[in-house]
A and B are shown apart, each in its own frame.
Chain A
Amino acid sequence: MKKFAKIDKDRLLLGIAAPVLAVVAALVVTALVLLATGKEPFKAFQIMVSYGFKSDSQVFILNEATTYYLAGLAVAIGFRMNLFNIGVDGQYRMGAFFGAVVGGMVTLPSFLEIPLIIVVSMVVAAAWSAIAGFLKVGRGVSEVIATIMLNSIATAVISYLLQPGRLAHLNSNTNSVYTTMLPKSAWFFTMTTNPAAGPIEGFIVIAVLAGVAYWFVLSRTRFGFDLRTVGQSESAAEASGVNVKKMIVTSMIISGALAGLVGMPALLNEAHTYSDEFPTGIGFIGIAVALLGRNHPVGIGIGALLWAFLDRTSNWLEFNGYDKEIVGVIQGVIVLCVVIAYEVVRRYGLGRQQRKVGEELAAAASLKTVEKAEVTA
């Protein structure tokens, strides 16, 4: 028992080492970039920290991180399966768009209206993602290619339908095109903080629940075990009786369904309509966040918060005369460093493990030879 706990601690340390290493390396690189552009780096970091911890920044970061967290989970499910779902971006937009259209058509009490919109969004997003899953098992099309293409198709489909006279209206004052506004009953609750900071969006609760569900399904169910097995070795999983094809389609569908939640904070908590200003590109942030969080539900949460913190502070950096692009550099460098750091730490861990096993084997072997010697003697 004691031995198990020790191994776990080692693993935990190694697990934490990688992201910490990555963030530190990213900060060093960014400091060098800032120095190269003739700016004082520590002032910039200080500006970011002091602004990022203001109360309204905290609220903003939590709200932004809610969306990023859901995107990260959607991508991570695929990663655990060794599937690279780049299509979260198209999936959440398709889901949110049709959710907004259906929600705008009916007015029901909140306890029906909100679940209806969420379910429509999840189903549409899952169906969109399933196309890539079926193409992979049926025709051997790489899910990377299929999902990238489906992103473009999603853009085109939404553009076609989001037109005045089709499924949208034109506001001639503001020139924006939007779907029918959701009824008040579809507005998700918010939690009030102090008035200057603004409300925390209620969808954060759903995000936390999704995180718990993700953890439970992956680490406490047969399905999750199968999924991780397939991710580690397809042939081994096949040999031990897992239907790999079914797993691929199912996990693409689950990944898509989670993607269907990504657009919901923006739809139910903020805009209450899908307009041509609906945020795009969150699926790609999800990839970075999932990488950063090592596909672990708590890790993804930290990754999402870090990303939102960087987003938030980028505006303020620009305000203080730094180039806004600096934060883009930090984000990019973090992702690169994460990938490198994980590999370094993984190799280190593997080497350690091998050494340990080697030592134990050697010890056992020497013991045996001693025994043998005793027997012969």
Chain B
Amino acid sequence: MRRVTRFAAAGIATAALALSATACGASSTQSSGSSSSSGKGSLKVGIAYDVGGRGDHSFNDSAARGLDKATKEFGGTPKELTAKTTDTDQDREQYLDDLASNGYNPVIAVGFAYANALKAEAPKFPKTTFAIVDSVVPGSNIDSMSFATPESSYLAGVAAALKSKTGHIGFIGGVDNALIKGFQAGFQQGVTDTKPSDKVTVQYLSTGSDLSGFSSPDKGASAAAGMLSQGIDVVYSAAGSSGTGSIETVAAKKGAWAIGVDSDQYQDPALAKYKDSILTSAVKNVDVAVYDLIQSVHNGKPLTGNNTYNLANGGVSLATSGGFIKDIQPQLDAITKKIISGQIKVKQTP
């Protein structure tokens, strides 16, 4: 008796759920009006951050800066969503869908994790402009923003080689994925092109799908400590928030320099205590790209296709705040010109 009722209960519950799913109820996307209804002055920018979101001191924050600047200038109401670590492509599709179907245009996906989701969603909303950072997704309504970070890393390598007294230089990578290996390649090339006898020691904090290397200041600190003890006196870390640990450690040693990444870390209030040891930063202007896109949509001529942000158009650069590289600026400028003209070919892989 009991067994039968239990089975029946389970069966009915399942059937009811399945029925309710197939038959009744409007979908969330139907209820809200058509897409791309943005008139002038009512710019609705939708942005989906990667894990970490606004406040990560790294590239999500950079995207947020671009958004803030655009909002200030063009007005409108931005909508910000943030991914979680348990998200599947389905979840990420939903973020983009929620934004696009509620009339947000443009919709900006921060981070290559959104690539598959964007591939699925962009064709559904042909009138909405989408954008993705650090990835190339084909589509007539997609702005793929890639950054020539090896170029800025090359310049960082030149600066490191010119400033190092021991001739031994360190590179700390957050995770050994293709993106960070590009930083390493440019940096190493910059060092050896400048001073062929200099040695670059490379260390990664985590490998593959283990992304902890981007968010572990303790790992950054111990890697930097190890490098300092080997006589390394310039440390470049491309490791997200782990870099703060390495900067902190390097700052404790007199005469050693740290090189920052992504944003101008000399200006970062959280690192103000150590700023006198931050030689420069290889800046990746996600904010510029985000701002450009929003501006283009505002002007009615949305950017699409593959847009590379490099030294030539100021999408990546070497920060000068602090004035520590003022003495070598002419050399850096000359090399920048050579990279822009193609005279120096920067490697993408180590």
Contact = CB atoms under 8 A, between A and B. Distances in A.
Nearest to B22: A193
A103 B19 CA distance: 33
Contact of B31 (A54, A208, A275): A54
Interface in A39-85: 51, 53-60, 62-64
B206 A159 contact: yes
B27 interface: yes
B336 to A, nearest CB: 25
Contacts of A174: 112, 115-116, 135-137
B88 A279 contact: yes
A8 B207 CA distance: 54
Contact of B21 (A163, A200, A315, A318): A200
B207 A160 contact: yes
A285 interface: yes
B85 interface: yes
B86 A281 contact: yes
Contacts, number: 143
A124 interface: no
A193 B19 CA distance: 10
A156 interface: yes
Contacts of B177: 175, 177, 276
Interface residues of B, number: 52
Contact of A316 (B89, B98, B112, B179): B98
Contact of A62 (B21, B28, B30, B136): B21
Interface size class of A (residues with CB under 8 A): 35 or more
A8 B88 contact: no
A298 B27 contact: no
Contact of B82 (A278, A281, A316, A318): A318
B179 A175 contact: yes
B27 A196 contact: yes
A193 B21 contact: yes
B27 A56 contact: yes
Contacts of A324: 82
A162 B85 CA distance: 18
Interface in A208-223: 208, 211, 215
B270 interface: no
Given A59-B21, A266-B88, A315 B98 contact: yes
Contacts of A55: 21, 24-27
Contacts of B209: 155, 158-159, 162, 177, 275-276, 278
The 8 closest A-B pairs by CB, nearest first: A159-B208, A174-B115, A196-B27, A276-B209, A55-B25, A54-B28, A56-B27, A159-B210
13 contacts: A55-B21, A55-B24, A55-B25, A159-B210, A174-B112, A193-B22, A215-B6, A270-B88, A277-B89, A277-B116, A315-B95, A319-B79, A319-B81
Given A54-B31, A196-B29, A281-B85, 10 more contacts: A53-B25, A55-B25, A55-B26, A56-B28, A58-B25, A173-B135, A276-B177, A279-B86, A279-B88, A315-B91
Interface of B: 2, 6, 9-10, 13-14, 17-18, 20-22, 24-31, 79-82, 85-91, 94-95, 98, 102, 112-113, 115-116, 134-137, 176-179, 206-211
Interface of A: 8, 51, 53-60, 62-64, 155-156, 158-164, 170-177, 191, 193-194, 196-197, 200, 208, 211, 215, 266, 270-271, 275-282, 285, 297-298, 301, 305, 315-316, 318-319, 324
